[in-house]
Structure 1
Amino acid sequence: MDPLSLFYYRYVFRNASARQLLDPEVFYDRHVFQDFEENYVPHMFKEICRQYLVRQNRTGKIEPAFDAIGKYWYDDPANKTSGEFDVVTQDPEGYAFYEAKFRKSPITQKMVDEEIAQVEATGLKCHRYGFFSRSGFEAGESDRTVFIDLPQMFG
């Protein structure tokens, strides 16, 4: 489903009665704002990040160019661990894992280190770790990390 239809059915159609009774700003505050900020936009942000990577790949700005893109999740009941990685690409060198964070605060070095440790625990061959952030970074890039913020994506 396209984003506009998803928005309509999630917020407008579902709350049609309230929409007819309330001022538009009150309706937005009560029935849209919190879920939109905490669930809808972060989910859509992951898709925007995926599309950004595809565009960069097509124009030759990602080296090596990837052949496949998707997400990766795992469930390890024996060790009681599970996880999901927002965007994963595969190229001749292996995998690149990207995490998309639509947070009001910057991504910290601790968060970067935790994500890298989580990927390494899977045993997959990863040669690049990418991070997308709405609010920037309080972390240092390395030769294996890529940091992408909103101005870079839309600049």
Structure 2
Amino acid sequence: MIDFVYDKKIKPYLNQYTGFVFEDVCQQYLLRENYNIKLPFIFEKIGRWWGNNSIKKRQEEIDILAFNDKKAIFGECKWQDKKIGIEVYEQLLEKSNLLNFTEKYFYLFSKTGFTEEIIEFSRNNSKIKLITINEIL
């Protein structure tokens, strides 16, 4: 009976639940880095963001938005078994255009790591930070 309940009621949703927990862990990482003054700026607020995309006529969501009056860190947290590619950054960049900040930084958090393409791209862009779960813990 226990195996049945686990297989039918828990296992199908475990990764989804863990993904939400991972977002909280990533947010805690940024709070710690902010406290230790290890970010490009000191943010005053942090949380998840939802809003309307009037061009695409749909709701958008950003996992983490940490900001002050002029600067923002946009964070995407991926708890999945494949490496994050450049398309995740491109989608986050597009969402960031819905908000008006003078400086924007992009933090990508990954359970599994990153593709060579995004690693190489981030080497030439100081506003992109790639963070694996090992760096968080």
Q: Same fold (TM over 0.5)?
A: yes
Count of aligned pairs between the two proteins: 130
Matched, 1:35 2:36: no
Unaligned ranges ≥5, structure 2: none
Matched, 1:143 2:130: no
Is contact 1:95-1:124 (8 Å) kept? no
What's the CA shift string for 1:106-134, capped at 9, x where partnerless?
110122122212212x1422420111111
Shift of residue 92, structure 1, vs aligned partner: 5.5
Identity of aligned residues (%): 21
1:133 alignment partner, one of 110, 114, 120: 110
Is contact 1:64-1:92 (8 Å) kept? no
Which is further off, 111-120 or 49-58?
A: 111-120
Matched, 1:114 2:91: yes
Unaligned ranges ≥5, structure 1: 1-21
Rg larger for: 1
1:68 alignment partner, one of 45, 50, 58: 45
Which TM-score applies when normalising by structure 1? 0.75
Residue number in structure 1 paired with 2:25: 48
For 1:64 and 1:116, the matched residues in 2 are separated by 19
Is contact 1:67-1:91 (8 Å) kept? yes
Aligned to 1:137, the other structure's residue is in SS state coil
Higher relative contact order (CA 8 A, sep 6+): 2
For 2:13 and 2:58, the matched residues in 1 are separated by 27
What's the CA shift string for 1:21-52, capped at 9, x where partnerless?
x1x44432222111112x21111111111111
Q: Are residues 77 and 66 of structure 1, via their aligned partners in 2, closer, same or farther at CA, if it must alter by over 3 Å? A: closer
Paired residue type of 1:53? L
Provide the aligned C-alpha RMSD in A: 1.9
